[in-house]
């Protein structure tokens, strides 16, 4: 195979280069009802049936003990209207400030968990921890999805929820980006051309 100068590659030490990742705010509460919001870069779907997700949190984070204590949290998807709040919740500790109040976010109750959700988020995913695994810098909490709430303003008259019209935000290498241009849909590569 010929060496193409425009395709030069460098080998780097192992690192987390899987980008972008969803920019999410995770809301939690302890057993006394004190709540907090953290941002989690390492969050994702791990199973469809049963629906399961994982988040990875550093043990020194203020919310870590809340998740350990209660075994629950809510993943709140972030849109362009929430990007500043998302960033703030990632750089300021809940030990020092009530992030719901400071960012004018509205906590609300969702089914099956006591952790509050963020009303301004277009999608709230209620989760119950089924296991945790200490991995090194982070502990992974594997959780069952026990409820989902969505903002009705993104639903059409047929009841279809248009998640891609909510202005979802992604995080990539220290920067935030709004979900952009549609390039195709699942299975388009094998559909017959018209």
Q: For 159-186, what is each residue's pLDDT tens digit?
A: 999 999 999 999 999 999 999 888 889 9
pLDDT at 17 over 90: no
**How is residue 93 written in tokens?**
């500790």
Fold of 20-181: Pnp Oxidase; Chain A (2.30.110)
* pTM of this structure: 0.92
Mean pLDDT of the chain: 93
pLDDT in tens, 63-108: 999 999 999 999 999 999 999 999 999 999 999 999 999 999 999 9
- Element of type H or E holding 73: strand 72-77
pLDDT of residue 3: 54
Domain limits of the chain? Answer: 20-181
């Amino acid at each position: 195979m010929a060496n193409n100068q425009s395709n030069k590659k460098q080998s780097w030490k192992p690192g987390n280069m899987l980008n972008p990742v969803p920019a999410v705010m995770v809301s939690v509460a302890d057993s006394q009802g004190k709540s907090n919001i953290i941002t989690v870069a390492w969050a994702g779907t791990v199973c469809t049936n049963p629906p399961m997700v994982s988040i990875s949190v550093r043990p020194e984070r203020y919310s870590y003990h809340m998740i350990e204590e209660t075994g629950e949290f809510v993943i709140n998807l972030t849109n362009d209207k929430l990007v500043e709040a998302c960033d703030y919740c990632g750089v300021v500790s809940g030990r020092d400030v009530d992030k719901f109040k400071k960012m004018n976010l509205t906590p609300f109750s969702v089914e099956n968990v006591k952790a509050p959700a963020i009303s301004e988020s277009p999608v709230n995913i209620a989760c119950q921890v089924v296991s945790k695994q200490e991995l090194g810098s982070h502990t992974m909490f594997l959780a069952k999805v026990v409820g989902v709430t969505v903002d009705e303003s993104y639903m059409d008259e047929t009841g279809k929820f248009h998640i891609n019209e909510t202005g979802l935000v992604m995080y990539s290498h220290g920067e935030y980006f709004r979900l952009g241009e549609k390039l195709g849909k699942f299975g388009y590569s094998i559909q017959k051309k018209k």
